[in-house]
Structure formats: C-alpha cells, structure tokens
Structure 1
Amino acid sequence: MEDISVITAVHHPLRRRIYDYLLLYGTAKVTTLSRALDTQVGSISHHLRMLERAGLVERADDPAGDRRTSWWTVARRGLTWSAEDFADSPADALLAREAQRQSIRMQIERLQRWQRRHDDPAFAAYDASNTEITAWATPDELRDLSTRLLAALNEWRVAVDLEDGQKRTPIFFFAHAFPTTP
C-alpha cells in the first residue's frame, strides 16, 4: 500500500508534470524543467522538494561535475493504489479519493488531447489501443491483477531499446479495474 503522502504529492498537477517529464526524459536540471514546463524555476524547485519528501524523485549528480546546478531524477517508477487502501483513516481516505478524482481527470484530459491530435501527421502511425475485459474477482484478486499489470508494464518499458535508432514518441497507458454491473 502506498503512503498517503506519496499519493497526494504526485497528484498535484504541476508535480505530476514534473514527475512525468523525469520519467520520460531521465535526469534533468531545474532550468530545463522550468523551460519545458513553462514554469518559474522557484516553483519547480519547490515542487521537486515535495516530490523528494515523498520519495518519488531524488537529487542527481551533474553529469559535467558542476556542483552549482541542481539536477533531479526519478527515484521510483509506477504507483498502484486504491482509495479503499485508506479506509481505516477517514482523513486519508478523503485525500485518496480526491487524488483518485484528480488522476482520472488527468487521464481523461490526456485521452481527449490524443483524440484531438489524431490527425496530426507526427502521430499518423500511432493508433491508440483500447484494452478492456469484464470478469469476476475478489478484492485480493483485483489487487493482484493491478500488481501484475504494473510489473508487466515495467518489464515491457525496460525491454524497449531506446538506442536502436527508431523514432519514438511518449505514450501514456492507464487502466482502471473496479466493481461493475452489466
């Protein structure tokens, strides 16, 4: 189970963009993040420290050895959690549900941006996937499914050879599993 501080830290809109940038591009300095995300350096630094406290990012050595610049990298990849994980604490459950709503809004916004850009020649070769299934599961089986999916996604991500010279674009995969009715 994730700590609530991790969940709330990553579900702030700017912190999520910082985290996603570092996931995609690797180690970066604060000024690079500031330019890429069109945000003030001071704001980026503040939010990096919040992500650092949650254990999601960490300081990195400057590749050139210059100790005057601040470099950051991802400390861990991927999160799997449910608002139900926090049922024992009403305050944490409330925070978790709001983070879940924020996450769903962000996911839907990304999907809608993709749909608007679908005719963009830069993305013409990409076809967004739609994967779904309806089945039966206990709460423990559903948690097991989430754990297995995250492991499979990370295995796939690591297997992609980024040095093979092929042109790639960032992708976003999200899945939700929840009780339903037909």
Structure 2
Amino acid sequence: MDEKQPKRGGEPRRITDLGTLKALGHPLRLRVYGTLRVSGPSTASQLASQVDEAVSLVSYHLRKLAEHGLIEEADVQSEDARERWWQAAQDNLSFRHEDFKDTPEGAATHAAVVRSLIAYRREQYETYLAQQEAWGAEWRIAADQSDFLARLNPAELKRLNAEIHALVKTYEEQGKAAEAAGDTEGRENVAVHLASFPFRL
C-alpha cells in the first residue's frame, strides 16, 4: 500500500486493494469511520459512546482502520496528553467493482461492503424518520426522498453522476466557507445518498 495517503481535505481516495476494502467493510468499522467523518477528531472512549460498543472493541477496530491508512492520529484536543485522538485520513473514499471483479473473493468482498454501506445508510434514514417530528417543519419541508427514471446510455449515466457529484461538492464547499466565516446558525449535518443503476423488468 502506498505510504503517502491523501490527508483529510485532499483528493478522494480510491480503494483498489482487497485488504483495505476488507478492513473498511466490517459493519462496526464503517460506523466508526462514518462517525469520525461527521464528528471530527475523537478518542476511542468518545467513539465507543457514540456507537454504543465497548472501548476495547472500538480501540481494536481503530487500529485496523489505521493500519490501512483509513484513519490517522489527530492533534490532542484536550489537556490530557495521554489521550489518543483519531480522525478520518481523507474526506471521501471510493471503490469500484472494476477493481475487484477479477477474483471471486474480490467480487464477493466488494458486493458485501456495498451491502453494508446500503444498510448503514438505511439506518441513518430510518433514524431520521423516527425523529423527524423533533426536527421541526422547516427541516421536514427541506428534506427529500425521491426517485427518478431516465432512459440513458452508459456515457450519459456517467456524465449525470459527475454533474450531481460536482453540484453536491459545491454545496459542501459553500457550507465549509460559511462556517469558517462564522455563519453557523441553523446548520446541521445533511446526508445525501445517491444510487444510480440500470435495471430491466
């Protein structure tokens, strides 16, 4: 594995080796990694509280994620210098079927990790549905759950995805810039999930 991993805030990292994909694919590691992306630097004890697991178990999975450059040590955020702080090593990860299709193990691992991600995203949405009354009318009106049907060829689908990604990235950067300028009122974490795929009846 390349020793020079992109740092948080840099270019997205594309996972192409099976070991790293397996390391990420464990359901608890997905939750820990996702929590670090959202919450920022955290200790094992803080993460254990957020994912409702034992500190020793979370520490073990943090080490596994770190071995593959998925997370990295962060600057100490408290007065206790003995505490070990962790952060996601990059803002975005990607992995594609094409990089793992040549072996049965690779194809099976890729499919399993994608299914784990779908389950994790479904859990996020189910949590919102269970709590939506508490969010208030403004957030309920702003939130969306839609699906679309288009007749496209592969090139058009690829271009559509690229344009959607670029648009979401624009809003991500605008939000970061606004918060850096002190405009924090009313801002919350917002999950945008996209799945686009061909199908036949």
* Alignment CA distance shift 1:26-1:90 (3 Å): same
Deviations 1:25-71 (A, max 9, x none): 21112222122222222111111111112322100121346431100
Residue 134 (structure 2) aligns with: 121
Residue 48 (structure 1) aligns with: 62
| RMSD after superposition | 2.5
Residue 171 (structure 1) aligns with: 190
For 1:58, what is the secondary structure of its paired residue?
Answer: strand
1:55–1:76 CA contact under 8 A, matched in 2: no
Q: How many residues align?
A: 180
Question: Separation in 1 of the partners of 2:113 and 2:61?
Answer: 17
1:59–1:72 CA contact under 8 A, matched in 2: yes
1:57–1:75 CA contact under 8 A, matched in 2: yes
2:74–2:86 CA contact under 8 A, matched in 1: yes
Question: Separation in 1 of the partners of 2:151 and 2:81?
Answer: 54
Question: Separation in 2 of the partners of 1:58 and 1:66?
Answer: 19
* Alignment CA distance shift 1:110-1:94 (3 Å): same
Residue 169 (structure 2) aligns with: 154
Residue 108 (structure 1) aligns with: 122
Residue 46 (structure 2) aligns with: 32
Question: Separation in 1 of the partners of 2:137 and 2:107?
Answer: 42
Question: Separation in 2 of the partners of 1:137 and 1:5?
Answer: 33
Q: Which amino acid aligns with 1:122?
A: W
Aligned-residue offset at 1:148: 5.0
TM-score with structure 1 setting the length:
0.82
Residue 136 (structure 1) aligns with: 152
Structure 1 residue ranges without an equivalent (≥5): none
Residue 2 (structure 1) aligns with: 15
Aligned-residue offset at 1:175: 0.8
Q: Percent identity?
A: 26
Q: Which amino acid aligns with 2:193?
A: F
For 2:86, what is the secondary structure of its paired residue?
Answer: strand
TM-score with structure 2 setting the length:
0.75
Q: Please show how residues 36-115 of structure 1 align to structure 2 within 5 Å.
A: 36-64=50-78, 66-115=80-129
* Alignment CA distance shift 1:37-1:106 (3 Å): closer
Q: Which amino acid aligns with 1:105?
A: A
Q: Which amino acid aligns with 1:101?
A: R
Aligned-residue offset at 1:171: 2.1
1:78–1:150 CA contact under 8 A, matched in 2: no
Larger RCO, structure (CA 8 Å, separation 6 or more): 2
Q: Which amino acid aligns with 2:46?
A: T
Structure 2 residue ranges without an equivalent (≥5): 1-13
Aligned-residue offset at 1:143: 4.9
Question: Separation in 2 of the partners of 1:52 and 1:155?
Answer: 29
